[in-house]
Amino acid sequence: MTEVASSSSSSGSDKTPSFEMTWGSSASSGYCSEDDSDTEFEQYFTARTSFIRKPRKEKQDEQIEWGKQELTTAEIQQKVKEYNAQINSNLFMNMSKDGSYTGFIKVQFKLVRPVSVPPPKKGAAGHDGGGRKTGGVKRRTSFYLPKDASKHLHISSRTSAREVIEALLKKFTVVDNPGKFALFERSERHDQVYLRKLPDDERPLHLRLCAGPNEKVLSYVLKENETGEVNWHAFSMPELKNFLRILQREEEEHVKQIVQRYALARTKMQEALAGSTPG
């Protein structure tokens, strides 16, 4: 699943942002399935993908001061000028007469669970090959996004973090509830990675302007909206079935590894016993 759109430096409307998507990988990894009420089709692309992972060397909820900076119109103009002077692409920021501004943010996907999209339309909807009605069976496809996938969004300084999430899902035609996802601010300092979950009303482009274009200082990551306990009731039946299949295969893989480890240790002990002499 590959889609590439050329970037544009046009400012666009504040209310309707334009988008650009770039992929770092052309192949999805993990489990892909197409589910309906009667039959299910499964396909595995690569080796197993963990269902739940804990991030390493990442610190949550680190306090960042960029969002607290209140800028005057003159200060915004100066920062936009400095920002544009530091980038070597056409991803410029542009000021509007009303004091707002538009620009690009890059969002990296770090999703652990699969996302669901509508299946491709085939032929006339609601009819089978013989012209008979099929009864409107609902189907959907679940798949993993590539870990290194990223996307550029052209947004306004008024665009909120929640609107960014909704725009990402709409562009991917993801039918999952936007509440399952959260936008995080990521920064690197002193060989440590810090993550901060953005509130729904925070303005990502304002943070981008204040932090500058350096992605080590500030970048954006889309992750699952982890609130401690997983709300399993928020998932659909096909999604829950997918998770159970993934967990079963991971359990089988872990059991296989443990059995092999003990078998190897037993073999080495038997070889040592056979080569030893009494006393």
Among 60-64, 76-80, 110-114, 162-166, name the one with the lowest average pLDDT. 60-64
Tell me the two tokens of residue 80.
Answer: 């936009």
As a whole number of angstroms, the distance between CA 176 and CA 179 comes to 8
Domain spanning 18-234: which CATH class is it, in words? alpha beta
pLDDT band at 141; cut points 50, 70, 90: confident
As a whole number of angstroms, the distance between CA 252 and CA 273 comes to 32
pTM here is 0.56
Average pLDDT of the chain, as a whole number: 75
77-112 tens-digit pLDDT: 999 999 999 988 889 999 998 889 999 999 999 988
220-266 tens-digit pLDDT: 999 988 766 667 777 888 888 888 988 899 899 999 999 999 999 99
SS (H, E, C) 178-222: HHHEEEEEEEEECCEEEEEECCCCCCHHHHHHHHCCCCCCCEEEE
- The CA–CA distances, whole Å, from 232 to 145, 180, 239, 243, 278 equal 21, 11, 10, 11, 60
Q: Could you give the dihedral angle defined by the CA atoms of residues 94, 10, 92 and 160, in that order, rounded to the nearest 10 degrees?
A: 70
148-158 tens-digit pLDDT: 789 999 999 99
